[in-house]
Chains A and B, each alone.
Chain A
C-alpha cells in the first residue's frame, strides 16, 4: 500500500531563537494540525541570549555545552515540530511559497514565520585580525564560548561601543580580572541615546572608578583599528585557531545590530529596517506570512503613527506569541482580538549597579529627576523622560532598590496614559 501523503499544512519558522520558539508554542497551544519546521543557523536549540553576558563560567573543556545547558530554554517539545538546526535559509520566493536552504534543498511551505533576528553591526569586519588584535563580535553561543574563553585568561580586552552588550561585556571582563579598554567615539557615556548626557556621563565616571579605561571622542577614535583583510576566507572552524591567538588581544565590537533580511530580497517587501508588519505581525500583502522578534517592525502601540523595532527579550516573546496566534487564526484556529501591546521595559546590571529603563526615553525632549541625584547613581536615582511635558519614559538606577516602588508606580502611569 502506498504511504498516505501528509496533507497537513507545512509551517516554516525561520529562526530558532525565542521569537520562533514562542510562535511554534502558540501554534501547538491552539492545537493547529500542521507540520512545523523550525530552521536555525546555529547548531543549538533555543537559548536565553541575554544570559550569554550575565555571568562568569569556570574553566572547562566543554565550555560551549556548559553555557548551552545553563541558558537553554524549553518549549515546543512536540512531535509536530521538526528542528532543522545548523540549516540556514538563503532565499525565499513568497509567491512560489518556497525557501532555498543552505544545504541546497528547497522547502515548500503553506505558511511562514520570519523570526530571523539580527546580527552584530561591525565597522571593521568580524573574525579578522590586525597586528595587535583578534577582532570579534558577540551574538551566538559559539561567539559567547570564544569570548568567555578569552576573558578567562584575564588578558587585556578592547570593547567598542557603550550600549547593553558593550557594558555587560566590560562588567564581565572586569569580573574575570581582565584589563578593560572601552572605546566610544560617538557618545559621552553608556546608554547616552536612551538616558541622556547627564546620566551617561555619570555612568562613564563610574566605569573609570571601577578600573576600566573608558575613552570617548577623538581619543577613542585614535585607537579604533581595523582587521586587515589578509584572510581572503575566514577559517572554516574558528576553534582551530583559538590556541594560536594568545599573541593578539581580543577586540570586540558591540556597536549595534543589523536585521537579517537579505534572504527576503526580491519579494517587494518593505525591508528598510527589518520586516514591516501590521499590529498582528502580518506581512502585507501575504496572508500566509508573519514576522516576529528583533526583525519585526510594527506600529508602535505607544506612539500613534510611528513604527518601532525592538531588540529585547520580552518583545521577542510577545511578538513571537502573537505571530503564532495570528497564523493559527489564519488557518481557522481561534481568533486574535488584541493587537501588539508590548510595553518596552528592560534592565541590565553593570558593575553591580542595576539599570532599568522603560517606555520610550528616546522620544523625549526633557528629563526630570523624581528621586535621588543623577550624579550619584549608586545612591539611587529615578528620572522621568518628558515630551512636551508628558512622561514618555523612565529610568531607575540603583545598587539597592530604595525607589523601586516609586519606579513601578511611574511605569503604571506611563502604561495607562
Chain B
C-alpha cells in the first residue's frame, strides 16, 4: 500500500502531520510534504491520517 494525496483537494490543514508525523509534515511555508511508502507497523497511524483529513484528500492505494 502507498499513500496518495490529491493535491487539488489538499488545503494543508496539517491534521495528517499530527496523526502520522512519520510520513506527513508541513514545511516552513505550510505546504504538505509526504512520503508515499510506509512501514506496516505504522498502518494504524496512516489510516488515522487519511480519516483525519477534513478535505478527504488522502487515499491508500495498492
Q: Is B39 an interface residue (CB 8 A)?
A: no
A-B contact pairs, 6 of them (CB 8 A): A51-B54, A54-B54, A348-B13, A348-B54, A401-B12, A408-B18
Contacting residue for B30 out of A55, A71, A317, A401, CB 8 A: A401
Q: Which residues on the A side are within 8 Å of B29 (C-beta)?
A: 400-401
- Given known pairs A54-B54, A73-B56, A313-B54, the reply for A347 and B30 (CB within 8 Å) is no
- Given known pairs A400-B29, A402-B28, the reply for A345 and B12 (CB within 8 Å) is no
Contact in complex: B30, A48 (CB < 8 Å): no
Q: Which residues of A contact B (CB under 8 A)?
A: 48, 50-51, 54-55, 71, 73, 313-314, 317, 345-349, 354, 356, 358, 398-402, 404-405, 408, 411
Contact in complex: A48, B56 (CB < 8 Å): yes
- Given known pairs A48-B55, A400-B30, the reply for A354 and B13 (CB within 8 Å) is yes
Bound-state CA distance A356–B52 (Å) is 13
Q: Is the interface of B mostly helix, strand, loop or mixed?
A: loop
Contact in complex: A347, B15 (CB < 8 Å): yes
Contact in complex: B18, A411 (CB < 8 Å): yes
Q: Which residues of B contact A (CB under 8 A)?
A: 11-15, 17-18, 21, 25-31, 51-52, 54-56
Bound-state CA distance A50–B55 (Å) is 7
- Given known pairs A400-B28, A404-B17, A408-B18, the reply for A54 and B55 (CB within 8 Å) is yes
Contact in complex: B21, A408 (CB < 8 Å): yes
Q: Which residue of B lies closest to A314 (CB)?
A: B52
Q: Which residue of B lies closest to A400 (CB)?
A: B30
Bound-state CA distance A317–B14 (Å) is 18
Contact in complex: B54, A354 (CB < 8 Å): no
Contact in complex: B26, A404 (CB < 8 Å): yes
Q: Which residues on the A side are within 8 Å of B30 (C-beta)?
A: 354, 398-401, 404
